[in-house]
Homo-oligomer: A and B are copies of this chain.
Amino acid sequence: MEQQPTIADVARRAGVSSSTVSRHMMGQAVKSREAIEEAIAALGYRPSPIAQSLRSGRTLTIAMVIPDISNPFFGSAVKGAEAIARTRDYSLALYNTDESEAIESRILERLHGRVDGVIMAPSVESDSAPLRLREHGVPVVFIDREIAGPTLFDTVLVDNQGGTAQAVNHLLDLGHRRLGIIRGPVASTPARLRYESFRDTLAARGLDPGEATSEDGDFREEGGYQAMLRLLSRGQPPTGVFVSNNEMTVGAVRALRELGVSMPRELSLVGFDDHVVAALMTPALTVVNRPSEEQGAIAMRLLLHRLSGTAEDPARRIVLDTNLVVRASTCPPPGGGAPPEVARAGSTHHPLNAAPIDRRDP
């Protein structure tokens, strides 16, 4: 509970000036090294990071501003980012926006001067707060989402279009013709891209996107639950449904169970984002998977690279590949569809995730 010793204390004890101690700390060769080291050890001296920051103008801290830390995707991304940060002696300050633009903008306002850079998933594409940060010289890297306008920021996305196309084509290949989608908040990048790509893929296959049913969700479990209920209350409910993210998928499955709709016999489901346990559900879920920890790590690397400031590179936009993990929540539609051989052609099969499933009735 005592006062931390300062560099002046060390200098006094070693019989030198504080500049000499500072030089020693900076790795310069110094005559009185031994005495200084003795004093440092005896006093337990540690330089004050705050004072160092005030001098250097650098905080060695990166902020990560994300919509929902309890979403496993963001949890993994944070883990990946933190691991990289630590290897470079940076700390990670975490902020949760709860998908709220208001909260996000309040957080961002407070970030000036506290952090050297920001990794964020903007809650809406119309967001202008990142631009203000940028104007103040704070580099920003987008993860998973971006904002409208010219590409000014380093960005790490996944191939939302490709992933969605994989999912939709998989359903079409199985023979489904009445498709549905549970969207996310379409003001956000991934929700918009996944929705657009859903429609584009249908059109590319000669189907009328207008006939597909779609419901709004909010990227949360409850939203997925409600959306699925609405989807099934239609006169002609879809036989194949694409759900735009992991949390909503959980809610959608819950709705199916409550209504007693058999999956995949009556309804096939493909989700975006893998859950650890998607493989363990019965039926195990067919999902579009992506490297989430890697996504966070790459964002952090981009940001630290920019902070190292060697070059004024143009903004980089990195798009990571997805892969379709075909499990048991998809099959041909009730009326019959394409044969399985055709259906599964072209889809990526991930054997590790498709562990044999005990179908015996408990």
Contacts A46-B113, A260-B356, A277-B277 given; indicate if A78 touches B91 (C-beta within 8 A). no
B70 touches A258 (CB 8 A): no
Tell me the complex Cα distance, A293–B69, Å.
11
Contact string, A64-98, partner B, CB cutoff 8 A, digits 1/0?
00001110100110110011001001011111100
B112 touches A357 (CB 8 A): no
A221 closest partner in B (C-beta): B276
Contact string, A220-251, partner B, CB cutoff 8 A, digits 1/0?
01000000000000000000000000000010
A12 adjacent to chain B (CB < 8 Å): no
B residues less than 8 Å from A355 (CB atoms): 254, 257-258
Partner of A257, one of B83, B261, B357: B357
A253 touches B280 (CB 8 A): yes
Name the segment of A47-55, A209-217, A300-308 touching the other chain. Answer: A47-55
A61 adjacent to chain B (CB < 8 Å): yes
B residues less than 8 Å from A362 (CB atoms): 262-265, 282-283, 328, 331, 359
CB distance from A307 to the nearest CB of B (A): 14
Contacts A53-B50, A113-B46, A358-B256 given; indicate if A277 touches B283 (C-beta within 8 A). no
A79 touches B72 (CB 8 A): no
A2 adjacent to chain B (CB < 8 Å): yes
CB distance from A112 to the nearest CB of B (A): 5
B69 touches A70 (CB 8 A): no
A114 adjacent to chain B (CB < 8 Å): yes
A126 adjacent to chain B (CB < 8 Å): no
CB distance from A29 to the nearest CB of B (A): 25
A360 touches B250 (CB 8 A): no
B residues less than 8 Å from A114 (CB atoms): 49-50, 91
A340 adjacent to chain B (CB < 8 Å): no
A60 closest partner in B (C-beta): B114
12 cross-chain CB contacts under 8 A: A49-B114, A50-B59, A69-B82, A70-B72, A86-B96, A91-B114, A257-B280, A261-B358, A262-B360, A262-B362, A277-B278, A361-B361
